[in-house]
Chains A and B, each alone.
Chain A
Amino acid sequence: MSFSRPRHTADLGIPRLHLAIFAGLLAFFAIAPFFLYPVFLMKVMCFALFACAFNLLLGYGGLLSFGHAAFFGAASYVSAHAAKQWGLSPELCVLLGTAASAVLGLAIGSLAIRRQGIYFAMVTLAFAQMVYFISLQAPFTGGEDGIQAVPRNMLFGLFDISSDSAFYVFVFVIVFAGLFLIYRIIHSPFGQVLKAIRENEPRSVSLGYEVNRYKLAIFVMSATLAGTAGATKALVFQLASLTDVHWAMSGEVVLMSLLGGMHTVFGPILGAAIIVTMQNYFAGLGAWVTVLQGTIFVIAVMLFREGIIGVLGKLTRKQL
């Protein structure tokens, strides 16, 4: 561990390496729709945001939530409902979905942080299941069918962005704003306190930090950003369904973080890309995809707990 400060660029306070990676990602996703299917790329971006939001909690707060599908899914229902029934413009739908998951995050988080470790995981999972049942039964969610044929309305009520390529720009902006925000949270003084709590909670308490307040704050932030991802995803696929709130989705996002590297900034993005790609191209294999995901889980836990980016970071001795 070196204590020398990383070299910063003058204006943004970001190490050059990270700036380069961000620039690379931006460039890739800017060019990619010309040779890859835009809807697939939008899915990758949404899940990358979801995984990074989740990892904000797991990798930096040390809290394993097994119920993040609740926030992702609830936001997608709210966003889809707002677009379809109220005819709101997409930016408002996403905002509304995000706000809904923030409220939900506050409610679940304030109860869940009363327990630690594996109990915390079980509590979040149980609450997420409650959200699942509500989604199944509530009058506006469409039960088993979900909310289908969600329209992509005019952006700001003015611009038609319903085509995939135009909508791509919208998703691109939202996701990268979200990713950048997560990056800033991690590298803020607040993020440093979080790391201190993760590493040694009693010491943080004795240093005078109100640990539970920090935990709740990061929980709500994580839930909120997961909601942004879910709300955007509902508009991309023009569909909000039970898949989004099911606990299997919570498991998937854990897998993305673990596979990419949960103590890294960029790991979850790679993890999300790998899992989404896998699902897309192996969809014909049916339940074998589940078996494959389970196998990846087991291998990741047994053999490389740092994840792909974590291992890369170790090899290059850079913080990634």
Chain B
Amino acid sequence: MFEIFGIPAAALFGQLLLGLINGSFYALLSLGLAVIFGLLNIINFTHGAQYMMGAFVAWMLLTYLGIDYWWALIIVPVVVGAFGVVIERLMISRLYHLDHLYGLLLTFGLALIIQGLFRNQYGVSGLPYSIPSQLQGGTNLGFMFLPNYRAWVVVASVVVCFGTWFAIEKTRLGAYLRAATENPTMVGAFGINVPRLVTLTYGFGVGLAALAGVLAAPIYSVNPNMGADLIIVVFAVVVIGGMGSILGAIVTGFGLGIIEGFTRVFYPEASAVVIFVIMAIVLMIKPQGLFGRAV
């Protein structure tokens, strides 16, 4: 086995892969946040809880109804996204005329409720969700062993991220969305139902979080707190990337995941804080974020 910088290559690539996996989740979650923020101007604090719900709904589908992973990939985002739509209609839509802080506080309260309910029902110990049979095992690449499921997660999230970017930047619907972000009144005057667009966007962003939850379920144990600590890292990712940018969310998400992986190899004690350190540095040099527009 050869070594790189005195670290066994297998360990290095292993951590790199782990970083890439974490990066996939950072990218998917910060992408959802960015999409929601773009149109609603609300920081969706419930995002972590919705990610957790995604994992739990997948687990419930399998346990109670025998519906497998592949169906869950489709059903879960729709179900949790619909839940998001209800929340947007009932609560968030009543706050648009107020300071954005109230949206943050409302979604924070909702996150507490959701997490508390799941904790009451399922405890905190975590439930197993096995890898679907088609993706079990792994491939030996010569320099490292690549578990198939992990490769799938990275590929799936790259595809979803690219698809979302494409839909927003290159399609007509995306053009409406971007226009509605700039000037909702004008877009409404052109006969587009802006409130419905807003609602569906929220549902879509929530669906992205839920999808991330399904992807995460076989890797991490499914437990009520899985979103709570992750969401704060994702917030840091968002601050670093710059909230206005879809591309920023994706690139920063993957990049920071990898940096975190490297840190775990060379200086493990710092791996939990490295993202926050980077955030501090970015705030000093470029407060609007790496990809953000100056406000």
Binding site for B on A (CB under 8 A): 64, 66, 111-112, 114-119, 121-123, 125-127, 129-130, 133-134, 136-137, 247, 251, 254, 258, 286-298, 300-302, 305
Contacts and interface: CB of A to CB of B under 8 A. Distances in A.
A254 B106 CA distance: 12
Interface string B232-260: 11011011000100000000000000000
Given A115-B239, A115-B287, A298-B110, A64 B116 contact: no
A114 B108 CA distance: 23
B112 A127 contact: no
Nearest to B287: A114
Summarize A's interface: helix, strand, loop or mixed. Answer: helix
Contact of B105 (A114, A127, A292, A301): A301
Given A123-B279, A125-B235, A291 B43 contact: no
B241 to A, nearest CB: 12
Interface residues of B, number: 44
B290 to A, nearest CB: 14
A301 B277 CA distance: 33
Contact of A297 (B100, B109, B233, B273): B109
Interface centre among B119, B229, B283, B287 (most CB of A within 10 A): B283
A290 B108 CA distance: 11
B117 interface: yes
Contact of A129 (B102, B110, B232): B232
Given A129-B276, A254-B108, A302-B106, 7 more contacts: A114-B284, A126-B239, A133-B276, A134-B273, A290-B119, A297-B109, A305-B98
Contacts of A289: 116
Nearest to A123: B239
A118 B239 contact: no
B76 interface: no
B269 interface: yes
B115 A290 contact: yes
Contacts of A133: 272-273, 276
B289 to A, nearest CB: 9
B196 to A, nearest CB: 22
B168 interface: no
B280 A298 contact: no
A293 B115 CA distance: 12
A291 B91 CA distance: 17
A66 B231 CA distance: 13
Contact of B112 (A112, A129, A137, A251): A251
A145 to B, nearest CB: 18
B101 interface: yes
B112 A291 contact: yes
Contacts of B105: 254, 258, 297, 300-301
Nearest to B95: A301
A291 B115 CA distance: 8
Contact of A295 (B94, B113, B120, B236): B113
Contact of B236 (A114, A126, A288, A300): A126
B81 to A, nearest CB: 20
Nearest to A67: B232
The list of the 5 closest CB pairs from A to B, nearest first, reads A297-B109, A294-B112, A290-B116, A294-B113, A291-B116
